[in-house]
Amino acid sequence: MGKLIVMNPAHASTPAARYGRVAITLHWLIGAALLAQITFGFLLDDIAPRGTPARAATINLHKSFGIVLALLIVVRLVWRLKHRPPAWPLALSEWQRSTSQWSHRLLYACMLVMPLSGYLGSNFSKYGVKFFGLALKPWGPVSPSWYAVFNGIHIVTAFLFCGLIAVHVAAALKHALVDRDAVFSRIWFKRPA
Ligand code: HEM
Ligand code: HEM
């Protein structure tokens, strides 16, 4: 009689366990777009200082890009919830697994809070949102205090997000260049055999 071998998926990792093509594409597409959007956000005052004619168009461009990004992020999150990530490489210790898991959760949280706080704040300002020229009707009253709350969340989360991304990239580079394990390659595009 053949023996039935039951494997715990958490321990079933092989060097070949990789993220799928869709997850990889979404990771790098959204990652690059987010880095550009964060830079754009921090440069808003330099590109178009308050009170200058270019200010409204520049802010609306930031808002429009942010809304497109939000839609991509929702697609990514839904995809992620429906597809389990690959099993951990065996070389990872328990603390590395849980730190990685929690940092990814926080990255997803920032990805949601950034566009949401921007959008909610805009609905309490007299400017509302012009999505690539199309005025989206604001549904909130003009309220400087509510605007300040959501704008504050937008700004604080932006700094938190930058810190998390810095740690994330440093960890990824350490795995790729120092440990030389499978962590980086499993989310990088596979070369044809
Ligand atoms: C993933 C999407 C987004 C990212 C990463 C992002 C990032 C940023 C960053 C880094 C800043 C500069 C913060 C600072 O002044 O210290 C900023 C400012 C701003 N963002 Fe966003 N943003 C996003 C989406 C949105 C959306 C969807 C809206 C509105 C619909 C929005 C509205 C604003 C506004 C109005 C400011 C200027 C705040 C001010 O100068 O007082 N953002 N954003
Ligand atoms: C805004 C920029 C970025 C964000 C928001 C981001 C976010 C994420 C998230 C949420 C995951 C977990 C994927 C999942 O299980 O669903 C992940 C995985 C990963 N990211 Fe990023 N990422 C960014 C940029 C980068 C960059 C620039 C690098 C490399 C230098 C990188 C390297 C990796 C690696 C190696 C993994 C796989 C980790 C693992 O196997 O568990 N990421 N990223």
Give the CATH number for residue 105.
Answer: 1.20.950
CB of 161 closer than 8 Å to CB of 118? no
> Would you state the pLDDT for residue 18?
93
Answer whether residue 96 shows pLDDT above 70: yes
Confidence tier at 67 by pLDDT (50, 70, 90): very high
- Pairwise CA distance, residues 69 & 73, whole Å: 6
Q: 44 in ligand 1 pocket by Cβ < 6 Å?
A: yes
In the chain, which residue ranges form alpha helices assigned H by DSSP?
21-47, 55-82, 94-122, 144-173
**Residue 168 Cα to ligand 2 middle (Å):** 7
- Pairwise CA distance, residues 180 & 182, whole Å: 7
Q: What is the mean pLDDT of the chain?
A: 91
Q: 104 in ligand 1 pocket by Cβ < 6 Å?
A: no
> Encoding tokens for residue 89?
């490489």
Mutate to test the pocket of ligand 2, among 112, 168, 169, 189 (most ligand atoms within 8 A of CB): 168
> Would you state the pLDDT for residue 138?
87
Q: What is the mean pLDDT of residues 154-164?
A: 98
- Pairwise CA distance, residues 148 & 128, whole Å: 14
Confidence tier at 64 by pLDDT (50, 70, 90): very high
Q: What is the mean pLDDT of residues 94-114?
A: 97
10: in domain = no
Count of domains forming the chain = 1
Domain that holds residue 96: 18-187
Distance of alpha carbon 103 from the chain centroid: 11
> Would you state the pLDDT for residue 190?
81
49: in domain = yes
Answer whether residue 193 shows pLDDT above 90: no
Angle between helices 55-82 and 21-47 (to 10 degrees): 160
This prediction's pTM: 0.92
| E strands, 4-155, in order | 129-131, 134-136
**Residue 148 Cα to ligand 1 middle (Å):** 13
160: in domain = yes
**Residue 125 Cα to ligand 2 middle (Å):** 34
Q: 27 in ligand 2 pocket by Cβ < 6 Å?
A: yes
**Residue 68 Cα to ligand 2 middle (Å):** 20
